[in-house]
């Protein structure tokens, strides 16, 4: 498939160089002392973290250049033929996110991938986010509720694949503090993501996504004063732009290394945030039925997050993905501390 760009020796050297970049980054845990995002408003930091809440790490790794079905790039949905006689895959997932301050965030999702013949593949997904009522580092309680609905499409033609995603989410945040302070915010989110994949030569895959979204929001804040409670109301629209290119190389059968860069821009009438984030990792087929993976994320503020996981195939009709991430949400560290993310996804093929 495709023509060779390099000889075997050259390809091996490249794969070793990428692996050499990944594994040293996984080692120095004491070096994870980067700058947090406390200089930016919470409203522009939360959407940046929200993008990663539902990006479950599965086969191929967290890369926009993934050959497997991926939450990052909608084009990856159609790169490989859908297994199963009926062309249907059901994939429920659960991801608890545990923060140092005691906040526990539960991300639950239900996804289906359906073959639509010459039209490509369709993947509808619904997800829910719920939290407990813990106290943040600023002394306020935090209650976060999100219901999300998404449809994803992908189609491959030869060495190219394209895909698109539409996501609608409704979120509510309630914060309380001693003395009668209460803030309630409600927002709807509309996001469009477009992705592409290209195989320039054998074993190499290039990918990229672009996303635009906007969120109309309303908030009501009750502030205690010496003259009694004062109510402050606010409304507006927040915008976000995301661009992410990446490359992966299959150094062995169904084993890959990858490197991504992501630029995110989030803006509302009060503040704006630019995020530059790099992700590198490896997904290795250890046994015929077992895949192991590791990845590292680094941003330009010096924050480092690590992750790993495995995929188990007990039978041809099902598989289980297990993942773990440490400190992958530096945007929220000011209020919640460091995070521990556990990811579980079960795939059933028909």
Assigned domain for 106 exists: yes
| pTM of the shown model | 0.90
Per-residue pLDDT band for 11 (boundaries 50, 70, 90) equals: low
Task: Find the mean pLDDT for residues 44-67.
Answer: 87
Assigned domain for 3 exists: no
Assigned domain for 117 exists: yes
* 203 to 15, 83, 158, 281, 314: CA distances (angstroms): 11, 21, 14, 16, 27
**Which pLDDT belongs to residue 36?**
81
Summarised one tens digit per residue, pLDDT across range 311-343 is: 999 998 999 999 999 999 999 999 999 999 999
Assigned domain for 110 exists: yes
Summarised one tens digit per residue, pLDDT across range 215-246 is: 999 999 999 888 888 999 999 999 999 999 99
Q: How many angstroms from the chain centroid is the CA of residue 246?
A: 14
Rounded Cα distance, 264 and 35, in Å:
17
Enumerate residues 6+ apart whose C-beta is below 8 A from 296.
22, 25, 26, 279, 280, 281, 304, 305, 306, 307
E strand or H helix at 273: strand 272-287
Per-residue pLDDT band for 8 (boundaries 50, 70, 90) equals: low
**Which pLDDT belongs to residue 227?**
85
- Between strands 339-349 and 88-99, the pairing is antiparallel
Structure tokens at 8: 């075997």
Q: How many angstroms from the chain centroid is the CA of residue 99?
A: 17
Rounded Cα distance, 60 and 288, in Å:
15
Per-residue pLDDT band for 29 (boundaries 50, 70, 90) equals: very low
pLDDT greater than 80 at residue 3: no
Assigned domain for 130 exists: yes
* Total count of domains within the chain: 1
- Paired with 275 in beta bridges are 264
- Paired with 82 in beta bridges are none
Rounded Cα distance, 34 and 277, in Å:
13
Enumerate residues 6+ apart whose C-beta is below 8 A from 153.
74, 77, 119, 120, 121, 122, 123, 163, 164, 165
* CB neighbourhood size of 32 (10 A): 16
Name the one residue in this structure whose structure tokens are 């046994």: 287
In terms of residue numbers, what domain contains 204? 8-349
Enumerate residues 6+ apart whose C-beta is below 8 A from 39.
none
142, 136 in Cβ contact below 8 A? yes
pLDDT greater than 50 at residue 257: yes
Assigned domain for 304 exists: yes
Summarised one tens digit per residue, pLDDT across range 108-140 is: 999 999 999 999 999 999 999 999 989 999 999
197, 73 in Cβ contact below 8 A? yes
Assigned domain for 186 exists: yes
pLDDT greater than 70 at residue 18: no
Domain with residue 161: its CATH number is 2.40.160.40
What is the DSSP code (8-state) at residue 47? H
Assigned domain for 1 exists: no
């Amino acid at each position: 498939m495709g023509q060779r760009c390099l000889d075997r020796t050259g390809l091996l050297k490249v794969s070793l160089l990428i692996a050499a970049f990944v594994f040293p980054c996984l080692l120095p845990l004491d070096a994870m002392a980067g700058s947090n995002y406390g200089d930016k408003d919470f409203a522009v930091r939360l959407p940046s973290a929200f993008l990663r809440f539902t990006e479950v790490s599965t086969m191929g790794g967290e890369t926009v250049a993934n050959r497997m079905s991926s939450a990052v790039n909608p084009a990856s949905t159609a790169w490989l033929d859908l297994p199963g006689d009926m062309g249907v895959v059901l994939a429920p997932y659960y991801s608890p996110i545990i923060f140092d301050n005691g906040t526990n965030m539960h991300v639950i999702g239900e996804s289906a991938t359906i073959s639509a013949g010459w039209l490509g593949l369709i993947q509808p997904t619904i997800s829910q986010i719920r939290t407990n009522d813990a106290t943040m580092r600023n002394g306020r309680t935090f209650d976060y509720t999100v219901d999300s609905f998404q449809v994803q499409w992908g189609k491959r033609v030869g060495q190219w694949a394209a895909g698109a995603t539409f996501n609608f989410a409704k979120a509510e945040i309630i914060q309380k503090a001693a003395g009668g302070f209460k803030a309630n915010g409600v927002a709807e989110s509309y996001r469009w993501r477009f992705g592409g994949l290209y195989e320039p030569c054998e074993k190499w895959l290039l990918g990229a996504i672009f996303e635009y979204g906007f969120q109309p929001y309303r908030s009501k804040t009750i502030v205690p004063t010496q003259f009694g409670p004062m109510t402050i109301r606010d409304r507006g629209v927040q915008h976000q732009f995301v661009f992410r290119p990446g490359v992966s190389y299959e150094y062995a059968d169904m084993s890959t290394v990858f490197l991504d860069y992501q630029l995110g821009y989030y803006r509302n009438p009060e503040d704006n945030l630019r995020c530059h984030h790099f992700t590198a990792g490896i997904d290795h087929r250890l046994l015929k039925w077992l895949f192991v993976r590791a990845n590292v994320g680094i941003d330009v503020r010096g924050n480092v997050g690590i992750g790993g996981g495995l995929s188990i195939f007990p039978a041809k009709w099902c598989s289980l993905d297990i993942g773990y991430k440490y400190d992958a949400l530096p945007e929220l560290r000011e209020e919640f501390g460091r995070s521990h993310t556990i990811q579980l996804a079960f795939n059933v093929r028909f």
